[in-house]
Chain A
Amino acid sequence: GAGVSQSPSNKVTEKGKDVELRCDPISGHTALYWYRQSLGQGLEFLIYFQGNSAPDKSGLPSDRFSAERTGGSVSTLTIQRTQQEDSAVYLCASRRRQGGYTFGSGTRLTVV
């Protein structure tokens, strides 16, 4: 596609439930990133995939968070046993070997 696609755009879930957020990067982009943006805050790095290298998971806030990237393309961010503090906009970005990030519009997650 022309841009980075994220789904769903909005997700409301009950505390304790698991959620999966999906990111379809731009075709041919080798790098994929997940960030979290809380209300009025900056972008917090979560995880980074680059080609076939092991992902950089250094930003994942707890072991309830995990992500995978299948076939070097689509990525899924999974949050298990959601907590209210997980409420945020989750942004995905992809990048060619050279150049800036292209972000999706994000998934707004609300944990009630």
Chain B
Amino acid sequence: QQQVKQSPQSLIVQKGGISIINCAYENTAFDYFPWYQQFPGKGPALLIAIRPDVSEKKEGRFTISFNKSAKQFSLHIMDSQPGDSATYFCAASKGGNQGGKLIFGQGTELSVKP
């Protein structure tokens, strides 16, 4: 009930391409779904987040797509750049962005080749 499953574990994309990372959750009480970006030696940083009342949210080159019926959400990085190379984590929690603990996926290591 508390799991968040993320795929793929690693991803290699050419510069300018689209990076797609997928997550699935089980607990229908989850109502806040953020994505975090982590560079080596640093803590994760919030990238973008979505609530289940919308199906898509876009911020610059980053888009979250949300499918409530399938209990799935994904991160799309358009025009991927070498500087986007990092580990990406999806997460979920209850209580909106005022809620309690985030449950994280296992992470996706993205490498963007020049």
Interface SS of chain A: helix, strand, loop or mixed?
Answer: loop
Q: How far is the CA of A101 from the CA of B34 in the complex (A)?
A: 10
Shortest A60–chain B CB gap in Å is 12
Considering only CB atoms and an 8 Å cut-off, how many residues of chain A contact the other chain?
24
Once the chains are docked, how many angstroms separate the CA of A63 from the CA of B59? 43
Residue A12 interfacial (CB < 8 Å) = no
Q: Lowest 4 A-B CB distances belong to which pairs?
A: A103-B43, A100-B46, A42-B106, A43-B104
Does B98 reach chain A (CB closer than 8 Å)? yes
Residues of B whose CB lies within 8 Å of any CB of A are 6, 34, 36, 41-46, 49, 89, 97-98, 100-107
List the B side residues contacting A65 at CB < 8 Å: none
Partner of B98, one of A97, A104, A105: A97
Give, as a whole number of angstroms, the nearest-CB distance from B96 to chain A.
8
Is A70 engaged at the interface, CB distance under 8 Å to the other chain?
A: no
Show 9 A/B contacts (Cβ-Cβ < 8 Å), sorted by A: A4-B43, A33-B101, A33-B102, A42-B89, A45-B104, A56-B100, A91-B43, A93-B43, A105-B41
B6 — nearest CB in chain A belongs to which residue?
A42
Residues of A bordering B, CB below 8 Å: 4, 33, 35, 40-43, 45, 48, 50, 56, 59, 91, 93, 97-106
Which of A41, A43, A59 lies at the interface centre, i.e. has the most chain B CB atoms within 10 A of its CB? A43
Which residues of chain B come closer than 8 Å to A103, judged between CB atoms?
Answer: 36, 43-45
B residues near A59, Cβ cutoff 8 Å = 101
Contacts A101-B46, A105-B43; is A41 near B101 (CB within 8 Å)? no
In the complex, which of the residues A101, A102, A104 contacts B102, with contact meaning CB atoms closer than 8 Å? A101
Residues on the B chain within 8 Å of A105, using CB: 41-43
Question: Would you give the shortest CB distance from B64 to chain A, in whole angstroms?
Answer: 13
Complex: how many Å from CA A43 to CA B89? 9
B106 surroundings in chain A (CB, below 8 A): 41-42
B91's nearest neighbour on chain A, judged by CB, is A43
Task: Please measure, in the bound complex, the distance between the C-alpha atom of A97 and the C-alpha atom of B100, giving whole angstroms.
Answer: 10
Interface centre among B44, B45, B46, B89 (most CB of A within 10 A): B44
